[in-house]
Amino acid sequence: MDQQFPKWTRPGIIALLGLFVGAASGLCPSTTTLAAATGNPIIHADVPDMAMIRVGDTYYMSSTTMHLSPGLPIMKSRDLVNWELVSYAYDTLDDVDALNLDNGKNAYGAGSWASSIRYHDGMFYVTTFSGTTGKTYVYTTKNLEHGPWEVKSFRPSLHDHSLFFEDDGRVFMLYGVNNLRLVELNEDLSGLKPGGFNEVVINNASAVAGRNIMLGAEGSQLFKVNGKYYLFNITWPRGGMRTVLVHRADSITGPYEGRMALQDQGVAQGGLVTTPEGAWYAYLFQDHGAVGRIPYLVPVTWEDGWPVLGVDGKVPATLNLPASKGLIPGLVNSDEFARRPAEPALPLVWQWNHHPDHALWSLTARPGFLRLTTGRVDADILSARNTLTQRTFGPECSGATAVDVSNLKDGDFAGLLLLQKNYGLVGVRSRGGTNTLVMVNVGAGQPTEAESVPLTQHTVHLKAECDFKNRTDTARFFYSLDGETWTPIGNELKLSYTLPHFMGYRFGLFNFATKEPGGHADFDYFRISNEITRAN
C-alpha cells in the first residue's frame, strides 16, 4: 500500500477544547473576491475533521457533522478547491433517544465525530466513532456517490481513529489521545481481532511540542510513503496555538520518532494528499469563530524523509491551484421546494437537526412547499425535531424564506433560525388566535424576546444575514410583507461558537408546538446568498 493515496487518508478532531483561537483574522477573502481568488481558506464554512483520498483524478473528502442527519458527508472535487456534496454515509447513525431528541436527551456536539476514508481493492471504506453510542462504525460501498452502503459497528468507540490497510492484508486502526494505540481488526472489519496486535505505539505523543500541553495529541491520520509510516496529529501547547505533529517509523508498530511540523495561525489537524502531477498538500483546518472550523491547504515538500509543511513554515494566503467558484451550489444552495419526478425529496445540502420524524414533513402535501407538521409539544427550539438546516458561510451570507402560517395551532412557533447554543431566530408565534412576528436573541446565553410585531396576513418573508468578516461574527434578522421591502426586527445577534454544539452556525427552518401538536407551517422557498443586502 506504499505511495498510493487511493488507499489511505483519514481525518482528525478535537475533544473538549477551548475557544477558537490561534488564527489570523485577515486571511479570508472579501465577498467580492471570493469567487476569483485562489487562496486560503479553500472553504469558508464549517467542514471540520477532514479526511481525504484521491482515486484517479478525483478527490473525495469526508467530514464531521455530529448531531445532524443524514451524517458523515462525502464531498468530491477535481481540483482540491471546488467541492460538491455527493453523498452521506448514513441516514441514521443509531436509534437512541439522544440522536432522536427524545425523552429530554440530545446529541448536541456529540453524535459521530472524525471519520477516516480509504479506497482498497475496489471498495470505499468510511469509518467513524460515536461517544453517544459507544461504538465504532464502518461504512462500505463500491460507489461513493450512489451507494448502496453497508454498515458494521462494534465496541468500543475508537477515538479519532485512522483506518489502515497494510500490504500483507492485515487491517488496523490507530487511535487515542496522547498515548496512541494501534489495534488490529478482523479481516472483515467487524471488530477487534482476538489475539491481534493491540498496543500503545507512541506514549505521550505531544511531548515533541513541549511539556505544557493543553490538548494531548489526537486526530490521528496514518500514511505510508516510500516505505515509511507517517502519523499526523494535532496538539495544543498551553498559551500557544493548535499545532501539527508528525511521527514516522519504518514499521507500522514503531518505534516512532516525532517532530513539530507546523505552528502557524492555528491551522492544524489533517493529513496528506497528492495531485496526479505529484504535488503534495496537507489538508488542515482552522478554528475560525462562529462560522466554524474551516479547511485550508498547505503545500508540502520533502526533506530527509520528512514532510515539510508550508512556505518558510507559514500557511500561504495563495495557492498554485484553480480559482474557487464559491460554495454555491456545491456545499450550500437555494431551494424552491419544487420537485420533478425521480428527484430526491431533499438535496444533499440539507441536513436535519438530529434524526427527523419522517412522517411529519412533506414536499407533496402542498407541491412547491416544504410542510413541517408538529407531532409533539416541546419547550423550545433546541428540543424540537424536524428543524431543517444548511451551513452558514463566510465572509458574509444571507438566508431567506417565506412561510405560510395559516394552519398554526395555538402555541405554535414557526420561522427562520440561526442554530447554535446561543441561537437567534425570527418567526411567527400563534397565541390565543393572534399571530405575532417575534425575534428571539440568545447571544448573551439566555433567550430574550428582542421585538414583537403583530402579523395580520398569512404569509411573511423572513431573512437572516451573517457577517463573519474579520471575526465580526454578528447577525441581523429582517421581515417583509411583500418579499421586496425588508424591515429589520429585534437587535444584533452576537454569534459565538460554543462547545456544547461544537459546530458553526447553521440556517434552520422550524415549526414546533408548545401547547398541542398537529399544526403545520408551509415554507415556500429558501434562498441563500453570499451577499448582505441589509434593509431597504
Q: What is the pLDDT of residue 233?
A: 98
Q: What is the pLDDT of residue 334?
A: 98
> Rounded to an integer, what distance in angstroms lies between the CA atom of residue 290 and that of residue 286?
12
3-state helix, strand, coil in the chain (%, to 5): 5, 45, 50
Q: Identify whether 41 is preceded by a cis peptide bond (ω within 30 of 0).
A: yes
**Taking residues 279-293, what's their average pLDDT?**
98
- Across the chain, mean pLDDT equals 93
Residues 78, 61 contacting (CB under 8 angstroms): no
Q: What is the pLDDT of residue 2?
A: 47
Kindly tell me if the per-residue pLDDT of 536 is higher than 80.
Answer: no
Burial of 24 from C-beta contacts in 10 A (0-12 / 13-18 / 19+): middle
Residues 73, 65 contacting (CB under 8 angstroms): yes
Q: How many CA atoms, within 13 angstroms, populate the side-chain half-sphere of residue 272?
A: 27
- pLDDT-derived band of residue 534, with 50, 70 and 90 as boundaries? low
Kindly tell me if the per-residue pLDDT of 19 is higher than 50.
Answer: no
User: What are 165's strand-pairing partners?
Assistant: 171
User: What are 75's strand-pairing partners?
Assistant: 61, 85
Q: Is 470 helix (H, G, I), strand (E, B) or coil?
A: helix
Residue with cell 442554530: 419
Residues 22, 240 contacting (CB under 8 angstroms): yes
Kindly tell me if the per-residue pLDDT of 58 is higher than 80.
Answer: yes
User: What are 397's strand-pairing partners?
Assistant: 466
Q: For the chain, which residues make up each domain, given as ranges?
A: 5-309, 351-529
- pLDDT-derived band of residue 385, with 50, 70 and 90 as boundaries? very high
Residues 129, 110 contacting (CB under 8 angstroms): no
Query: Quick one: residue 304, left, alpha or beta (phi over 0 = left, psi -120 to 50 = alpha)?
Result: left
Q: Identify whether 148 is preceded by a cis peptide bond (ω within 30 of 0).
A: yes
- Do β-strands 361-362 and 370-373 pair in parallel, antiparallel, or remain unpaired? antiparallel
Cβ-based neighbours of 425, under 8 Å, separated by 6 or more: 381, 415, 416, 417, 418, 439, 440, 477, 510
CATH number for region 5-309: 2.115.10.20
> Rounded to an integer, what distance in angstroms lies between the CA atom of residue 266 and that of residue 244?
9
Q: Grid coordinates in use for 486?
A: 425588508
Q: What is the pLDDT of residue 23?
A: 30
> Rounded to an integer, what distance in angstroms lies between the CA atom of residue 477 and that of residue 503?
21
User: pLDDT tens digits for 175-227?
Assistant: 999 999 999 999 999 999 999 999 999 999 999 999 999 999 999 999 999 99
**Taking residues 500-523, what's their average pLDDT?**
98
Q: Which residue has the higher pLDDT, 107 or 39?
A: 107
Q: How many CA atoms, within 13 angstroms, populate the side-chain half-sphere of residue 351?
A: 26
Percent of the chain predicted with pLDDT > 90: 92
- pLDDT-derived band of residue 38, with 50, 70 and 90 as boundaries? confident
> Rounded to an integer, what distance in angstroms lies between the CA atom of residue 231 and that of residue 245?
8
Q: Which of 359, 361, 358, 336 has its CA nearest to residue 347?
A: 336
User: pLDDT tens digits for 145-173?
Assistant: 999 999 999 999 999 999 999 999 999 99
Burial of 121 from C-beta contacts in 10 A (0-12 / 13-18 / 19+): exposed
Q: What is the pLDDT of residue 1?
A: 43
User: pLDDT tens digits for 64-102?
Assistant: 999 999 999 999 999 999 999 999 999 999 999 999 999
Sign of CA dihedral 119, 4, 77, 293: positive
Task: Compute the radius of gyration of the chain from its Cα atoms.
Answer: 23
Helix or strand run (H / E) with residue 356: none
Extended strands (E) in 304-423: 306-309, 351-353, 361-362, 370-373, 388-391, 396-404, 412-419
Q: What is the pLDDT of residue 33?
A: 31
Kindly tell me if the per-residue pLDDT of 5 is higher than 60.
Answer: no
Q: Grid coordinates in use for 371?
A: 410542510
Total number of residues shown for the chain: 536
DSSP state of 160: T
Burial of 278 from C-beta contacts in 10 A (0-12 / 13-18 / 19+): exposed
Kindly tell me if the per-residue pLDDT of 109 is higher than 50.
Answer: yes
> Rounded to an integer, what distance in angstroms lies between the CA atom of residue 12 and that of residue 233?
8
Q: What is the pLDDT of residue 160?
A: 98
Class of domain 351-529: mainly beta
**Taking residues 441-450, what's their average pLDDT?**
96
Helix or strand run (H / E) with residue 303: strand 293-303
Lowest-confidence pick of 25-39, 297-311, 330-344: 25-39
Q: Is 100 helix (H, G, I), strand (E, B) or coil?
A: helix
Q: What is the pLDDT of residue 392?
A: 98
User: pLDDT tens digits for 452-461?
Assistant: 999 999 999 9
Q: How many CA atoms, within 13 angstroms, populate the side-chain half-sphere of residue 161?
A: 28
Residues 302, 308 contacting (CB under 8 angstroms): yes
* 236 phi, psi to nearest 5 deg: -145, 100
Residues 404, 395 contacting (CB under 8 angstroms): no
Angle made by CA atoms 27, 13, 17, in degrees to the nearest 5:
80
Residues 216, 236 contacting (CB under 8 angstroms): no
